[in-house]
């Protein structure tokens, strides 16, 4: 099927006005598009880049319909949007990714079941619906993580357990009707791949990013990842295969575990821009945010080769507990930039911004961004 390019001046609708919506809106503006945003927060980060902001909860299907009315394309920056709202938007404008793709990914249990049924490699897991079966799953899997199937992000909505009684208590504490119990793995490193795909099936995969998390929240990421050519090729092919099977239009981030024996397993999927590819603004000719706009507007996809190594470090709300950080200290480090999201309220664990750095090597880029972060904490 031929899809006509969406011309500059048309309006793109965003389901979500957080930092990902904000940065994608910047790219859309650069390409000449108008922007409309729906978000529950009146002062969401993307508000100041939008022609219009609709303030409404995610489950307001009428608001989703208002967002889509007159839009040439609608996309999202958060997958936890009720199906009724997705369907309401999709009736009035092309929604990318599709309702079905988002529906599969937004629930961890559905996502795991879909990946497994389609033959993609996963670690051991169980889908559970009560405390007793959760305890049984932990007895079988051993040391595990119990995760709520819906919601939960950046380490929230999950509990680490070792014994069956801890598993039962974890299910009760999460107060979720369905959870996923994932057995611990012997992980060597964590990688991610970002796939961009158009409606006509044309797709590209960014080189892998190497990522380090603390308490379930991304701390830093760097590209090139240092993966050898075979692992790099395997990771990209796996991500492209998932994107094709899901029929993704837009972006799909595939988080991967590399085990000590070299095997590669899928951790989680995200059908949107991803924290681990914020360095794409520095490392690649085409950032993930511009690439999303290109993909949903049926434009040629941009180049994704690494032109210069780059790294990022997240800035969480803890840094603001003693007042605004002195970002001049970070900017004094060569190659470092500061990216702030415009959030009015800081709180522990909240992503307020990130640092990025480039370098002649991945090691230099990472050292620069780590040095800049340390300077902010002194």
Spatial CB neighbours of 345, under 8 Å, sequence gap ≥ 6:
none
pTM of the model: 0.96
Q: Give pLDDT tens digits for 199-230.
A: 999 999 999 999 999 988 999 999 999 999 99
Separation between Cα atoms, residue 122 and residue 194, nearest integer Å: 18
Residue 155 pLDDT grade (very low, low, confident, very high; cuts 50, 70, 90): low
pLDDT at site 57: 97
pLDDT at site 250: 98
The pair phi, psi for residue 84, each rounded to 5°, is -60, -40
pLDDT at 334 over 90: yes
Do you know the residue count of the chain? 378
108-117 vs 99-106: helix axis angle to the nearest 10? 100
pLDDT at site 153: 62
> Three-class SS string for the chain?
CCCCCCCCCCEEEEECCCHHHHHHHHHHHHCCCEEEEEECCCCCHHHHHCCEEEECCCCCHHHHHHHHCCCCEEEECCCCCCHHHHHHHHCCCCECCCHHHHHHHHCHHHHHHHHHHCCCCCCCEEEECCHHHHHHHHHHHCCEEEEECCCCCCCCCEEEECCHHHHHHHHHHHCCCCEEEEECCCEEEEEEEEEEECCCCCEEECCCEEEEEECCEEEEEEECCCCCHHHHHHHHHHHHHHHHHHCCCEEEEEEEEEECCCCEEEEEEECCCCHHHCCHHHHCCCCHHHHHHHHHCCCCCCCCCCCCCEEEEEEEHHHHECECCCHHHHHCCCCEEEEECCCCCCCCCCEEEEEEEECCCHHHHHHHHHHHHHHHHC
Residue 151 pLDDT grade (very low, low, confident, very high; cuts 50, 70, 90): confident
Q: Give pLDDT tens digits for 79-110.
A: 999 999 999 999 999 999 999 999 999 999 99
Residue 157 pLDDT grade (very low, low, confident, very high; cuts 50, 70, 90): confident
Among residues 44, 118, 48, which one has the least CA distance to residue 78? 44
pLDDT at 317 over 90: yes
Superfamily of domain 124-183: ATP-grasp fold, A domain (3.30.1490.20)
Residue whose structure tokens are 């108008």: 34
Residue 156 pLDDT grade (very low, low, confident, very high; cuts 50, 70, 90): confident
Q: What is the mean pLDDT of the chain?
A: 96
Spatial CB neighbours of 95, under 8 Å, sequence gap ≥ 6:
68, 74, 75, 86, 89
Q: Distance between alpha carbon 198 and the CA centroid of its chain, in Å?
A: 18
CATH of domain 11-95: 3.40.50.20
Residue 270 pLDDT grade (very low, low, confident, very high; cuts 50, 70, 90): very high
pLDDT at 378 over 90: no
Query: Where are the chain's structural domains?
Result: 11-95, 124-183, 187-377
For the record, the structure tokens of 45 come out as 């980060």
Domain 187-377 belongs to what architecture?
2-Layer Sandwich (3.30)
Q: For residues 340 and 375, is the Cβ–Cβ distance under 8 A?
A: no
Q: Give pLDDT tens digits for 14-63.
A: 999 999 999 999 999 999 999 999 999 999 999 999 999 999 999 999 99
For the record, the structure tokens of 348 come out as 């522990």
pLDDT at site 249: 98
């Amino acid at each position: 099927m031929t899809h006509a390019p969406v011309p500059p001046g048309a309006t793109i609708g965003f389901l979500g006005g957080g930092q990902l919506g904000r940065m994608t809106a910047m790219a859309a503006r650069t390409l000449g598009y108008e922007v409309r945003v729906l978000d529950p927060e009146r002062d969401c980060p993307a508000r100041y880049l939008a022609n219009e902001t609709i303030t409404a909860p995610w489950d307001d299907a009428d608001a989703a319909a208002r967002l889509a009315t007159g839009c040439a394309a609608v996309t999202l920056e958060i997958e936890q949007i009720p199906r009724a709202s997705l369907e309401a938007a999709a009736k009035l404008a092309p929604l990318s990714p599709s309702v079905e793709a988002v529906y599969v990914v937004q629930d961890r249990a559905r996502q795991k079941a879909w990946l497994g049924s389609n033959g993609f490699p996963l670690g051991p897991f169980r889908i559970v619906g009560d405390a007793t079966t959760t305890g049984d799953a932990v007895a079988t899997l051993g040391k595990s993580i119990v995760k709520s199937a819906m919601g939960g992000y950046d380490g929230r909505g999950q509990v680490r357990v070792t014994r069956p009684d801890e598993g039962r208590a974890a299910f009760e504490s999460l107060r979720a009707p369905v959870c996923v119990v994932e057995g611990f793995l012997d992980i060597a490193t964590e990688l991610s791949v970002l796939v961009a795909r158009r409606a006509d099936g044309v797709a590209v995969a960014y080189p892998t990013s190497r990522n380090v998390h603390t308490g379930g929240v991304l701390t830093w990421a760097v590209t090139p990842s240092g993966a050898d050519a075979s692992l790099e090729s395997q990771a990209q092919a796996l991500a492209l295969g998932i994107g094709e099977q899901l029929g993704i239009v837009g972006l799909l981030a595939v988080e991967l575990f590399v085990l000590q024996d070299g095997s590669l397993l899928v951790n989680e999927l995200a059908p949107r821009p991803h924290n681990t590819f914020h360095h794409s603004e520095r490392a690649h000719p085409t950032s993930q945010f511009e690439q999303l706009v290109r993909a949903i507007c049926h434009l040629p996809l941009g180049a994704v080769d690494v032109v210069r190594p780059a790294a990022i470090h997240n800035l969480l709300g803890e840094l603001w507990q003693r007042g605004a950080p002195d970002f001049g200290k970070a900017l004094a480090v060569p190659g470092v930039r500061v990216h702030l999201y415009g959030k009015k309220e800081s709180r522990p664990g909240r992503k307020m911004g990130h640092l990025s750095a480039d370098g002649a090597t991945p090691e230099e880029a990472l050292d620069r961004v780590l040095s800049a972060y340390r300077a902010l904490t002194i």
